[in-house]
Structure 1
Amino acid sequence: MQVWNGTAEVPADLGPTVATLGIFDGVHRGHQVILGSTVREAEEAGLTSVAVTFHPHPATVHHPDRDVVLIASLTDRLERLAATGLDAVLVLEYTLDFARTGAEEFVRRYLVDALRASLVVVGEDVRFGWQNAGDRSTMQQLGRAHGFGVRIVTDIASPATGRRWSSTWVRELLATGDVAGAAEVLGRPHRVRGEVVHGQKRGRALGYPTANLRADDLGLVPADGVYAGWLIRPAHAPADGSSARLPAAVSVGTNPTFHGVERTVEAYVLDRTDLDLYGEEVVVELVERLRPMVAFDGVGPLLEQMARDVRDAADVLGGAHHADRTG
């Protein structure tokens, strides 16, 4: 998949396209329906499929005082967009000046002039242009005026709950630590990504060396607790393109037993004490919450619980090998 950072990178010889647009935060199941429709329409017509997305998130530009954290980093968003089969993504820098672009000017400048859209695929709730004045009806009117078709994809809801797939739903689930529920909405496990930094080295002293990541620099981190998950080393991916995935028990919180104050994400790779991950960018996928974060009365009870956490994580992850440390 090609990534174009701004219209200047769009090839001059680009032919007609099938385009869609959105922030696509998380690229959840609802997004996947729209993106899948875009890809199919393009394949059937022999055209190029393109998604227009924005960075940073508009909310962070309009409300810098609010604590808005994306479900997925731009890197992960682009990876997930590529997984849908798109041919290209146009990333537009979102600024206050950009936000003043009117609905018709936006369509003309980006969909018509830059992408030569033959068809635009959008969801029922699409909004675009200054103060979100453009909606699906506006897009249809502009399509008739500028000579492109418009396909409206109806909202798709969870068959289990009837609730519409949405980024808001993902955020609600992660706020309670329900990463398994979030995975149902996302269509895959939620992940955070960051650089491994030096911590207090308490895990190593206790026999459970962890990869430490600062929780304020990773993306949307779920509620404090202990999770079963996978540590992925993108830089060490095998030649066949698969990920270097290692089973892990993941702790999210401030280490209350030791009266910590900094919130961190710490991943212990099951039965591995030989890994040197400092300075490496890793991805942590969170599969299931094992328990909430609690303060223990000393190191002894903590070690007993950590041994149980490792066994529980291995069970959740399909029997991943682990050492029995109960002695």
Structure 2
Amino acid sequence: MIVFRDPAEVPADFGRTVVAIGKFDGVHVGHQAIIRKVQEDARAIGARAVAVTFDRNPLEVLRPQICPDNVVSLDRKLELLGESGLDATLVLTFDSALASVPAEEFVRTILVDALRVATVLVGVDFRFGNGGAGTPELLKHMGLEHDFSVDVIGDVFPQGEGRRVSSTWVRELLAAGDVAQAAIVLGRPVAVSGEVVHGLKRGRELGFPTANLSETVDALIPADGIYAGWMTDHTTGVRYPAAISVGTNPTFDDVSRRQVEAHVLDQDGLDLYGHRVTVEFTAHLRGMVAFEGMAALIDQIAADVADARARLGL
């Protein structure tokens, strides 16, 4: 997938496009449905399938006091969009200058002049341009003048669920530790990637060594607690079963930040320092609690490992 960081980077001979516009935070099953429709429509007319998105949540500029955490980082979002099979993504820098662009100018300069759009796909609640004045209705009106059509995509509801898919729902599920339901809404397992760094090595002292992830990861971390899941070492490509801890280690109360630690099952001799890994959360086992003494903690960790093994079918 080609990534353009400015409309001026789109080649003049790029050809006609079918475009979906949105934040695409999390690239969840609702976004995936739109992307599939973009690809189908593009194939039908021999055009390019393109996403237009932003380098940050527009609320970070417009209303920072209510801006939520991103479900995934920008780099991870682009990875997921690339994996979907799109031809290109145009990432717009959302700053005060872009926020002030009138909706009509946004359509003319970006969709018409740069992307030579043939069809635009947006969600029912899509708004754009200065003051949010741009609506699907405005797009349809301008399409008559500039020779493009507009397809408004309805909400997506997971089977058996009465709630529409949204990034807000994903955040709520992660905050509750419900990684199983979040995986359904995302259309893939909940996972975070980062570099393995040195920690306090307390897990090794307790008989359960862990790989500690760096503070910077590429996705929103689920609620504090213990999880069953998997850890993939990007250096070797090996995927290991794991018991995963998220939190600040309340038994010792000497960890200043939330951290992700993965104890790889039956692989005590691994040296993963400096490796980039992906930790995948399969099932929530329990919440994070403080224990009275080392013996109680060790007994609980052993029980967690056994529970993780069972949840993973090992």
Could you tell me the TM-score, scaled by structure 2's length? 0.94
In the aligned structure 1, how far is the partner of 2:235 from the partner of 2:47? 33
CA gap 1:122/1:218 in 2 versus in 1, 3 angstroms: closer
Aligned partner of 1:109 in structure 2 is: 109
1:247 paired with 2:235, answer: no
Q: 1:306 aligns with which of 269, 291, 301?
A: 301
The percentage of aligned residue pairs carrying the same residue is 52
| CA apart distance, 1:262 | 2.4
In the aligned structure 2, how far is the partner of 1:279 from the partner of 1:110? 41
Residue correspondence of structure 1 range 267-306 to structure 2 within 5 A:
267-306=262-301
CA gap 1:220/1:165 in 2 versus in 1, 3 angstroms: same
Residue correspondence of structure 1 range 43-192 to structure 2 within 5 A:
43-64=43-64, 68-192=68-192
- Length, aligned pairs only: 313
Question: Is contact 1:227-1:286 (8 Å) kept?
Answer: yes
Aligned partner of 2:251 in structure 1 is: 257
CA gap 1:233/1:110 in 2 versus in 1, 3 angstroms: farther
Question: Is contact 1:174-1:223 (8 Å) kept?
Answer: yes
Residue correspondence of structure 1 range 19-58 to structure 2 within 5 A:
19-58=19-58
Find the residue that maps to 2:305 and give its secondary structure. Answer: helix
In the aligned structure 2, how far is the partner of 1:67 from the partner of 1:206? 40
Q: What runs of 5+ residues in structure 1 fail to find an aligned partner?
A: 238-243, 320-327
Aligned partner of 1:322 in structure 2 is: none
In the aligned structure 2, how far is the partner of 1:146 from the partner of 1:96? 27
1:210 paired with 2:210, answer: yes
Question: Is contact 1:214-1:263 (8 Å) kept?
Answer: no
- Which one is further off, 70-79 or 29-38? 70-79
In the aligned structure 1, how far is the partner of 2:43 from the partner of 2:34? 14
In the aligned structure 2, how far is the partner of 1:155 from the partner of 1:65? 27
Aligned partner of 2:313 in structure 1 is: 318
Letter in 2 for 1:267: A
- Which one is further off, 55-64 or 291-300? 55-64
Question: Is contact 1:157-1:163 (8 Å) kept?
Answer: yes
| CA apart distance, 1:318 | 2.9
- Which one is further off, 71-80 or 290-299? 71-80
Question: Is contact 2:234-2:275 (8 Å) kept?
Answer: no
Find the residue that maps to 2:197 and give its secondary structure. Answer: coil
- Which one is further off, 74-83 or 183-192? 74-83
In the aligned structure 2, how far is the partner of 1:20 from the partner of 1:92? 13
CA gap 1:86/1:216 in 2 versus in 1, 3 angstroms: closer
| CA apart distance, 1:181 | 1.1
Letter in 1 for 2:244: V
Q: What runs of 5+ residues in structure 2 fail to find an aligned partner?
A: none
Aligned partner of 1:325 in structure 2 is: none
Could you tell me the TM-score, scaled by structure 1's length? 0.90
